């Protein structure tokens, strides 16, 4: 169809079909970007969790060693108390004081380990919340992708409708081309002779119909006279 004879609705439909395709591509790009960002965040969180777990394992090992050493000191103190073997020499007292200071330092280290365990527990809680947040974000992206799939199906249906309309236009174009070819063929001398004979036959038919009409009128007049005469005779 030439552009000057094309309907405005055809142009509007084509433009309207192009706009959703562009919007769909933009939405798909946004979804891919969000997925990439979530993947990077997941990798970062997993690396930080692994590193923190290694740290906690090292802290547990050191905690076990300190606990064993503390138990050894406590057993030694209890044994000495039971046997009442407390020498009064200055060197021995100094050594005991150092041992007690070591025990106190062990208690401080144990307190620090407990604090680290508490921070580890808080870190696990934070990671759990972050995992829930990432899960909700994945569900949201999945719903968004499902919405895009529905829009894509609508666009496919609309494209199928446009294809059917295009087929109808092609059929109309073929019919117009056949009529145009018939019109071009009518310009030949043979076709002009056929058309002239057809017109002559039509004129003869019209003339004959006029004559028959006149005959009918004359017969109607005769019938009226006969009826009039028959009435007068009665």
pLDDT at 36 over 80: yes
Structural domain contains residue 137: yes
Percent helix, strand, coil in the chain, to 5, is 95, 0, 5
* pLDDT for residue 233: 42
Q: How far is CA 62 from CA 55, 106, 127, 151, in A?
A: 11, 11, 25, 59
Considering the domain architecture, whether residues 90 and 165 belong to the same structural domain is answered as: yes
Considering the domain architecture, whether residues 47 and 140 belong to the same structural domain is answered as: yes
pLDDT digits (tens, 9 = 90+) for 78-105: 777 766 655 554 455 566 667 777 777 7
Domain of residue 144, residue span: 8-185
> How far is it, in rounded angstroms, from Cα 126 to Cα 119?
10
Number of structural domains in the chain: 2
pLDDT digits (tens, 9 = 90+) for 191-205: 677 777 777 877 878
Average pLDDT, the chain: 73
Considering the domain architecture, whether residues 23 and 42 belong to the same structural domain is answered as: yes
User: Where is mean pLDDT largest: 49-58, 150-159, 211-220?
Assistant: 49-58
Structural domain contains residue 1: no
Please compute the mean of the pLDDT values over residues 55-78 and round it to a whole number: 83
Q: Residue 186 — pLDDT band, cuts 50, 70, 90?
A: low
Structural domain contains residue 89: yes
Considering the domain architecture, whether residues 197 and 170 belong to the same structural domain is answered as: no
> How far is it, in rounded angstroms, from Cα 151 to Cα 143?
12
Please compute the mean of the pLDDT values over residues 30-35 and round it to a whole number: 85
Percent of the chain surpassing pLDDT 90:
0
* pLDDT for residue 234: 40
With 0-12 CB in 10 A as exposed, 13-18 as middle and 19+ as buried, what is 11? exposed
Considering the domain architecture, whether residues 164 and 224 belong to the same structural domain is answered as: no
pTM for the model stands at 0.25
Considering the domain architecture, whether residues 174 and 191 belong to the same structural domain is answered as: no
Considering the domain architecture, whether residues 118 and 58 belong to the same structural domain is answered as: yes
- Could you tell me the sign of the dihedral formed by the alpha carbons of 106, 108, 109, 113, in that order? positive
Q: Which residue has the higher pLDDT, 216 or 18?
A: 216
Least confident piece of the model among 51-55, 104-108, 224-228: 224-228
Considering the domain architecture, whether residues 69 and 136 belong to the same structural domain is answered as: yes
pLDDT digits (tens, 9 = 90+) for 112-142: 777 777 777 778 787 788 888 888 888 878 7
Considering the domain architecture, whether residues 91 and 127 belong to the same structural domain is answered as: yes
Of the candidates 35, 200, 54, the one whose C-alpha atom is nearest the C-alpha of residue 134 is: 35
Least confident piece of the model among 27-36, 49-58, 83-92: 83-92
pLDDT digits (tens, 9 = 90+) for 166-182: 777 778 878 877 776 76
Considering the domain architecture, whether residues 127 and 147 belong to the same structural domain is answered as: yes
Structural domain contains residue 112: yes
Structural domain contains residue 58: yes
């Amino acid at each position: 169809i030439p552009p000057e004879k094309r309907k405005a609705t055809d142009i509007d439909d084509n433009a309207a079909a192009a706009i959703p395709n562009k919007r769909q591509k933009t939405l798909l790009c946004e979804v891919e970007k969000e997925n990439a960002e979530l993947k990077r965040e997941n990798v970062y969180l997993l690396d930080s969790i692994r590193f923190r777990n290694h740290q906690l394992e090292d802290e547990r090992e050191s905690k076990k060693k300190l606990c064993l050493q503390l138990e050894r000191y406590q057993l030694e103190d209890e044994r000495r108390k039971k046997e009442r073997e407390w020498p009064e020499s200055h060197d021995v007292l100094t050594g005991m004081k150092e041992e007690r200071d070591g025990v106190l330092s062990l208690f401080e280290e144990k307190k620090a380990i407990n604090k680290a365990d508490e921070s580890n527990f808080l870190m696990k809680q934070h990671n759990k919340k972050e995992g829930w947040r990432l899960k909700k974000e994945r569900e949201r992206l999945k719903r968004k992708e499902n919405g895009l799939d529905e829009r894509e199906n609508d666009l496919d249906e609309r494209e199928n409708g446009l294809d059917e309309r295009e087929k109808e236009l092609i059929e109309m174009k073929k019919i117009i081309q056949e009529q145009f070819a018939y019109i071009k063929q009518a310009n030949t001398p043979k076709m002009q002779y056929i058309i002239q004979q057809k017109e002559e036959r039509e004129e003869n038919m019209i003339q004959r119909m006029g004559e028959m009409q006149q005959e009918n009128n004359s017969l109607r007049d005769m019938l009226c006279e006969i009826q009039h005469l028959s009435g007068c005779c009665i």
